[in-house]
Amino acid sequence: MASKKVKLYFEPDGKRVEANAGEKILDVARIAGIFIESLCGGQGICGKCRVIVEKCAAGAPTEAELKHLSQKELEKKFRLACSCRVHGDCQILIPKESRGGRQRVVVEGVEAPFDLDPAISSLALKLSVPTLQRPMTDMDRVFEALIGNFGLRNVSIDYEVLKKLPDLLRTGGETVTAKIWRNSEIIDVRQGVEDGNYGLAVDIGTTKLGMQLVDLSSGKVLASVGMINPQVVFGEDIMTRASHVIERYETLEELRQAVLKGINELIDDCCRRAGVESSSILEATVVGNTVMHHIFLGICPKYLVMSPFVPAIKNPLNLKARQLGLKVSRSANVHILPVIAGFVGADAVADMLAVRLNRIEELSLLIDVGTNGEIMLGNKDRILAVSCAAGPAFEGAEIKYGMRATSGAIEKIAIEPETFEVSYRTVDNLDPRGICGSGLIDAVAEMFRTGIVDASGRIRDDLKTWRIRKGEEGAEFIVVPKRETKSGIDLSVTQKDIRELQLAKAAMYTGAYVLMKRMGVSAKDLDKVFIAGAFGTYIDKTKALMIGLFPDIALEKVSSVGNTALAGAKAALISKQARREAAEIAEKVDYVELTSDPDFPDEFIKAMALPHQELSRFASVKALLASTRIN
Amino acid sequence: MASKKVKLYFEPDGKRVEANAGEKILDVARIAGIFIESLCGGQGICGKCRVIVEKCAAGAPTEAELKHLSQKELEKKFRLACSCRVHGDCQILIPKESRGGRQRVVVEGVEAPFDLDPAISSLALKLSVPTLQRPMTDMDRVFEALIGNFGLRNVSIDYEVLKKLPDLLRTGGETVTAKIWRNSEIIDVRQGVEDGNYGLAVDIGTTKLGMQLVDLSSGKVLASVGMINPQVVFGEDIMTRASHVIERYETLEELRQAVLKGINELIDDCCRRAGVESSSILEATVVGNTVMHHIFLGICPKYLVMSPFVPAIKNPLNLKARQLGLKVSRSANVHILPVIAGFVGADAVADMLAVRLNRIEELSLLIDVGTNGEIMLGNKDRILAVSCAAGPAFEGAEIKYGMRATSGAIEKIAIEPETFEVSYRTVDNLDPRGICGSGLIDAVAEMFRTGIVDASGRIRDDLKTWRIRKGEEGAEFIVVPKRETKSGIDLSVTQKDIRELQLAKAAMYTGAYVLMKRMGVSAKDLDKVFIAGAFGTYIDKTKALMIGLFPDIALEKVSSVGNTALAGAKAALISKQARREAAEIAEKVDYVELTSDPDFPDEFIKAMALPHQELSRFASVKALLASTRIN
């Protein structure tokens, strides 16, 4: 029996979608490409996918909805899109806080120090004319000119180019321009002299896609664009997405298509901005963490998230754009940078490439803060890498009023030590809607500095201030009272939120600690600390040090290097040397499995304290606290 | 305005097809995949596409129909499918003579002298197990075993195989078998120890497709199959097919799909017969003339049939089966043998490979008789090749009662010199329906031997026999009187037919002559003559010499070598050395453009005579005639 059809009308998207009666709203929206915030991927855990369901025969509230929605909210027809099933036509309003907003996508990073030396060259060829006496094939005329004018032998031709060659050589003049990849393959032939070669650097982040369109003749960036990874409708983190694939294999292709669609939209966007034909894009480089890497390639990520967490392949790959479905020249080469391990991916390789960790003298710590943070320690002699499962706190998940760094997210907080008055700044200076990762670090660091929380992370509920109160989840600190918020709700940091952040920062610190131990060095031996990733750009390094996110080191040695993943991808795009070094990095780096280190459990527990149980390790924080702490 | 739809019912196929009113029957049949004989590709020239149109509002007979159909035939509702347009529903009977019948497809040729040394090897690998302490990637475990057990480094993996690797390595035991192409690429991985590798040799003839399924472990042929090239519905010869593409570019893809469909049907057939999974076929080799080669690759054949007749490429190609649409393993390599020139294709290279012309000491003439005949002369030191536009006479086209070598075709004729009584044999010993190429050579040779035609090719209408009469096209010789034919029509050889054969044989002889002249040798210097091609198998070499098809040489030096195109393709399939030699042949052969040779016009005219105007060049025929000729 065919199931009953119902019609759903989504506002403010204005989309009408037909669905089967009994389907969940989030599933319907996902298929229709309508974005509803969901940090847990529809598992009823995060409670972020709140929608208002009007005029509907919806099922009774589920356990998850009763947990996440107050009685008052239920009366106002709030439901969780992941849990509410529709049984009749209805209208669904997606409130602002569930729509994600315009996310700040940082696509800029440090400029990696590589000379322009791309894989593509343009060679103008004057071809001889075939005659009955000398009936040279089209290909041989091209080969003749390549050898005669450039001494280039043993060149092959891409099959798609071969197919168009006969007409191409006869509709123009006698001069054509061959586009040669690595001096070994003809990947395009154009009429006349034509030098325009373009390339794409692509960073597939779990949350964000970043892209740069680059003029390969100059190395100049013509357009930088970014968007939310469309895969987020399947779940915010890689574990959730991988688990979807494990449950239902077909999800792999759905996930691949989702990210591909996003990338192809960004390509359109880049080309429009720069006035470049997408068919002139002859090369792309792609980075991403290992799960993103596998999904983009259509490789099942199942074994990446199961012990012993091994990738299918770590080597760099060169594939044709047509094999992957990228909307650039069908013959373009797509260079996928190598990965290191299941949780240290091509993005980490790109991070290292961007700061050229493999060539510098100074002993450096490179930290990419995130749900799955990566930490690299080393220099030209040796590099160690570790992955830290920091959990979602830095991304705003599992945090009561956590959100991503989109419009209205509180990103900066200062607390007046005597009055506990809070001053804050939001993304785009809009009304506060929640707190993003850097805001949470600020908040906790300030609460610690001002004595609102103690070194163990406990909120001092004995302090006399209206900002501290007992909430449903224990003590909480009101950052913004409801009179200042549009939603009419107090925005607070709860005891549970602080615990989540402690877990996250402890993981990052322990990762760095274990690497230093393995390398036989201590914090004082570090010459540099690089904080990478878009998130890193917004971290206040003083505050981060205050909570013990990284080892105690003079702050002038600490620098934010921005989106090094994309910067590394761009380096590999414009420089064959960078590509060689990326492969070298992947070979060279020793991956350390953090949880199997015997010191890990003890060190992790000690690192939970603010800034650390052994305050001697954080002498500068100790000094800072002594000078500013009052309570 | 949408055009009116009409329904056509084809007998004996029993297919109902919807068409637009006003469409030609042949076009409708072509699209529906219904075979109607057509030698000229629907241009109203050959008159072979006779059908009986019943219950129909068909248009008035066209000029072409009035030319090719008698008043009596028109009364019996005979029409030409290429010319008759349908304006209402109708029933179309395709009579036996327009259906082609079961064509004899010779797939056997000489066994080429190459040792078994295929490009694919099966290597059984015992893989190590990844652990948290040693989290090796899937690929690295395979590489480790390849290096450790076989010393094989720098191996890549096909992308399609990479995608299935993670599951494959985990659902079986620790031993897998890697299928390696040329020691450089993994093109399949199977669980356990698995040695079955299969390959396909494919010959794409203008008229016929031939295929062999080969066990690559033994070199044994498991199945040999053949069929009419489905492209024949677009026209019998390469010029007609190329002209269709020139008129309408989309026809290229239609032609490509037609031949691909045929090849894929043959693959199914082979696999069924041999009990082999098509996904176990890991390599294929393909030969064909240059137009077939280009169309199969999706390259426009336009410039092959326009002066200076140059191919897009002559080099051998290795493409993935998935790029071409072949229904074998998606990762299988398809090796396309090299071509030499616009009219000397990969089939000619395969011919030479099969007899190893490039390595033998003896000076040899290799003749592939056909519409576009190829002649090669040489040995290990030097090879010359020429293409002869013999015209369609050998294929039975432009011949009044000509037909292909299908059931009922007269293929052998003897004439009693005194009574002119004719004895004959037909293909499959069925009632005579027409005369095929070898039958025509026999007929003309016998008519010449018995004095029915003179050396100029003129029918001696002064001879007293009922078999010689004045027909519509001049004098004709009745081979089979109507009382012995099912159609109730006298089957005759006309003066015009003889002229067509003279043109064809003159072209072949002149080709051989020009090559001998360029090489500075004469007939007595020839050590061997190989007659190649399916057609060559059936030629009576005495009769062929009698008409002067090839230079006068002792008949014991002449041998039929069968389908050497397929034999050469098979050699390249089972032997890497053969593949190298094919490339060597393509490089080595000097192509001679026949028509640009200054002696060509005179020589061609002299070669029109039977056996030749200079009888001194055919001393053995002269002797033969002196001994047997009576009239």
| Chain A residues within 8 A of B299 when measuring between CB atoms | 162-163, 165-166
A365 within 8 A of A306, measured Cβ to Cβ? no
DSSP A456-510: T--B-TTS--TTEEEETTEEEEEEE-GGGSTTSS-EEEEHHHHHHHHHHHHHHHH
Range of the domain at B203: 198-343
What is the pLDDT averaged over residues A301-306? 94
Nearest-neighbour CA in chain B from A420: distance (Å): 48
Domain boundary among A491, A513, A547: A491
What rounded mean pLDDT belongs to chain A?
90
The distance of Cα A570 from the centroid of its chain, to the nearest Å, equals 16
Q: Which pLDDT does position B102 carry in this prediction? A: 43
Of A535 and A1, which is predicted with more confidence? A535
B346 touches chain A (CB under 8 A): no
Tell me if B137 and A314 make a contact (CB, 8 A cut-off).
yes
pLDDT in tens, A307-327: 999 999 999 999 999 999 999
Query: CA nearest A140 in B: which residue?
Result: B313
Inform me whether the pLDDT recorded for B1 exceeds 50: no
At residue A441, does pLDDT exceed 90?
yes
- Per CB-CB distance under 8 Å, the chain A contacts of B249 are none
Please report whether residue A549 resides in a domain: yes
The pLDDT confidence band at residue B359, using thresholds 50, 70 and 90, is very high
**Cα distances (Å, whole numbers) of residue A614 to A350, A471, A518, B43:** 34, 31, 19, 95
The answer, yes or no, to whether the previous bond of B130 is cis (omega within 30 of 0) is no
A303–B131: do the CB atoms touch at under 8 Å?
A: no
Q: What is the mean pLDDT of residues A136-142?
A: 96
Verify whether the Cβ–Cβ distance A308 to B131 is below 8 Å.
yes
pLDDT value of position A395 = 74
Segment B581-590, tens digit of pLDDT: 999 999 999 9
CATH number at residue A536: 3.30.420
The answer to whether the Cβ–Cβ distance between A162 and B312 falls below 8 Å is yes
Tell me whether 0.90 is exceeded by the ipTM: no
Q: Give the per-residue pLDDT at B543.
A: 94
- Residues B275-295, mean pLDDT to the nearest whole number: 97
- For tokens 């304006």, name the residue: B87
Q: Are residues B306 and B439 in the same domain?
A: no
Shortest CA gap B172–chain A (Å)? 15
Dihedral of alpha carbons A227, A231, A234, A236, sign: negative
**What is the predicted pLDDT for the residue at A435?**
92
Q: Hey, what amino acid is at B108?
A: E
Q: Which of B23-37, B158-172, B464-478 has the lowest mean pLDDT?
A: B23-37
Least confident range of A200-204, A525-529, B369-373: B369-373
Contacts of A310 in chain B (CB under 8 A): 130, 135-138
Same domain for A83 and A11 = yes
Same structural domain for residues A342 and A386?
no
- Partner B contacted by A252 (CB < 8 A): no
With CB atoms and an 8 Å threshold, state whether A139 touches B314: yes
| pLDDT surpassing 70 at residue B630 | no
CA A80 from centre of chain: 26
Q: Does B591 touch chain A (CB under 8 A)?
A: yes
Q: Say whether B135 and A165 touch across the interface (CB within 8 A).
A: no
pLDDT of residue A102: 44
Return the closest-CA partner of residue A593 out of A529, A500, A518.
Answer: A518
Query: Do the domain assignments include residue A326?
Result: yes
Contact assignment for B310 to A135 by CB distance below 8 Å: yes
User: Which residue of chain A has the CA closest to B308?
Assistant: A132
- The count of CB pairs under 8 A between chains A and B is 114
Same structural domain for residues A387 and A404? no
Q: Which residues of B touch A314 (CB under 8 A)?
A: 137, 139-140
Are residue B430 and residue B485 in the same domain, yes or no?
yes
In chain A, what residues touch B310 (CB-CB under 8 Å)? 130, 135-138
Residue A101 pLDDT: 47
End-to-end, the C-alpha distance of chain A in Å comes to 70
Task: Tell me phi and psi for residue A167, to 5 degrees.
Answer: -70, -40
Closest residue in A to B249 (Cα) is: A167
Name the residue of chain A whose CA is nearest to B158's CA: A319
Q: Is there a single domain that holds both residue A221 and residue A177?
A: no
Residues belonging to chain A: 631
| Mean pLDDT calculated for residue range B194-222 | 94
Return the top range by mean pLDDT from A110-124, B56-70, B340-354. B340-354
Residue A149 corresponds to which amino acid?
N
**Mean pLDDT of the A133-157 span:** 95
* Interface contact B166, partner A, CB < 8 A: yes
Q: Are B210 and B105 in contact (CB under 8 A)?
A: yes
Write the residue in B166, B297, B323 that is nearest to A299 by C-beta. B166
The answer to whether residue B217 scores a pLDDT higher than 70 is: yes
| Contacts with A, B 123-152, CB within 8 Å | 130-133, 135-140
Higher pLDDT: A483 or A568? It is: A568
Is there a contact between B137 and A310 if contact means CB atoms under 8 Å apart?
A: yes
Percent of chain B past pLDDT 70, that is, above it, reads 96
Q: Give the per-residue SS3 of A541-589.
A: HHHHHHHCCCCCCCHHHEEEEECHHHHHHHHHHHEHHHHHHHHHHHHHC
- Residue B397 to chain A, least CA–CA distance (Å): 29
Boundary of a domain, candidates B98, B128, B160: B98
Q: What percent of chain A has pLDDT over 70?
A: 96
Query: pLDDT tens-digit profile of B400-426?
Result: 888 877 778 899 999 999 999 999 999
* Chain A interface disruption, residue of B136, B159, B245, most A CBs within 10 A: B159
Domain contains A45? yes
Does A105 score more than 80 pLDDT?
Answer: no
How far apart are alpha carbons B361 and B381 in whole angstroms?
Answer: 8
User: Which range is least confidently modeled, A8-12, A484-488, B297-301?
Assistant: A484-488
Q: Does a structural domain hold residue B220?
A: yes
With cut-offs at 50, 70 and 90, classify the pLDDT of residue B527: very high
From B308's Cα to the closest Cα of chain A, the distance in A is: 5
Helix/strand/coil for A230: helix
Q: Tell me: pLDDT of A623 over 50.
A: yes
Q: Specify the pairing of strand B185-191 against strand B175-181.
A: antiparallel
Q: Is B616 on the interface with A (CB under 8 A)?
A: no
pLDDT tens-digit map of B30-58: 777 677 877 666 777 777 788 999 876 77
Of A135, A298, A312, the CB nearest to B309: A135
**B135/A309 touch (CB, cutoff 8 Å), yes or no:** yes
Closest residue in B to A130 (Cα) is: B308
Q: Do B300 and A162 touch (CB under 8 A)?
A: no
Average pLDDT (A462-477) is: 91
Give pLDDT, residue A631.
45
d(CA A347, CA A98): 29
- The answer to whether the bond into A166 is cis (omega within 30° of 0) is no
Instruction: Determine whether the interchain pair B135/A166 forms a contact, defined as Cβ–Cβ distance below 8 Å.
Output: no
Q: CB of B9 within 8 Å of any CB in chain A?
A: no
- Number of structural domains (chain B) is 5
Of B132, B300, B312, the CB nearest to A593: B132
Query: Is A616 strand, coil or helix?
Result: helix
- Which residue of chain B has the CA closest to A302? B166
Q: Using the beta-carbon criterion (under 8 Å), do B313 and A163 form an inter-chain contact?
A: no
Put simply, the answer to whether B591 touches A137 (Cβ < 8 Å) is no
Q: Is B311 in Cβ contact with A137 (below 8 Å)?
A: yes
Is the CB of A171 inside 8 Å of chain B's CB atoms?
no
Q: Determine the pLDDT at residue B165.
A: 96
3-state secondary structure of A349: helix
Instruction: Say if residue A41's pLDDT is above 70.
Output: no
**Closest CB to A596 among B132, B138, B341:** B132
Instruction: Give the pLDDT band of residue B242 (cuts 50, 70, 90).
Output: very high
Residue B496 in domain? no
**Which residues make Cβ contacts (< 8 Å) with residue B515, sequence separation at least 6?**
B365, B375, B376, B377, B384, B385, B386, B592
Give A570 or B227, the one with higher predicted confidence: A570
User: pLDDT band at B395, cuts 50/70/90?
Assistant: confident
Q: Measure B299 CA to nearest chain A CA, in Å.
A: 5
Mean pLDDT, residues A139-165 = 96
Is a pLDDT exceeding 80 seen at residue A33?
no
Looking at the DSSP bridge assignments, the partners of residue B17 are B8
Q: How confident is the model at residue B448 (pLDDT cuts 50, 70, 90)?
A: very high
Strands (E) across B397-462 are located at 409-415, 422-426, 434-435
pTM for the predicted model, two decimal places: 0.83
B561, B530 contact by CB (below 8 A)? yes
My answer on whether B521 and B569 are in the same domain is yes
Query: d(Cα A629, Cα B440) in Å, to the nearest integer?
Result: 113
Is residue A105 situated within a structural domain? no
Is A629 a residue whose pLDDT tops 60?
A: no
- Of B98, B130, B164, the residue that ends a domain is B98
Q: Examine residue B416 and state whether it is found in any structural domain, yes or no.
A: yes
* 3-class state of residue B15 by DSSP: strand
Residue A1 has pLDDT above 50, yes or no: no
Interatomic CA distance for residues B143 and A587, integer angstroms = 14
The answer to whether residues B455 and B512 belong to one domain is no
Phi-psi region of B77 (alpha: psi -120 to 50; beta: other; left: phi over 0): left
- HEC string for B545-571: HHHCCCCCCCHHHEEEEECHHHHHHHH
Q: Report the CATH number at residue B25.
A: 3.10.20.30
Distance from CA of A76 to the nearest CA of B (A): 48
- For chain B, say whether A166 makes contact (Cβ under 8 Å): yes
Q: Is the dihedral of CA B441, B444, B449, B455 positive or negative?
A: negative
| Pair (B257, B353) in one structural domain | no
The predicted model gives A394-413 an average pLDDT of: 83
Q: How many residues are there in chain B? A: 631
Residue A104 lies in a domain: no
The CATH code of the domain that includes B251 is 3.30.420.480
Task: Give per-residue burial for A220-248: e unless 16+ CB within 10 Å, then b.
Answer: ebbbbbbbbbbbbbbbbbbbbbbbbbbee
- Residues of chain B contacting A170 with CB distance shorter than 8 Å: 303
Kindly state whether residues B230 and B327 are assigned to the same domain: yes
What's the rounded Cα separation, in Å, for the pair B617 and B509?
Answer: 12
Which three-class secondary structure state does DSSP give residue B393?
helix
- Both B315 and B356 in one domain: the answer is no
Q: 3-state SS string over A381-448?
A: CCEEEEEEECCHHHHCCCCCCECCCECCEEEEEEECCCCCCEEEEEHHHCCCCEECHHHHHHHHHHHH
- The torsion angles phi and psi of A312, rounded to 5 degrees, stand at -70, -40
Q: Do B295 and B386 fall within a single domain?
A: no
Tell if the CB–CB gap between B138 and A312 is shorter than 8 Å. yes
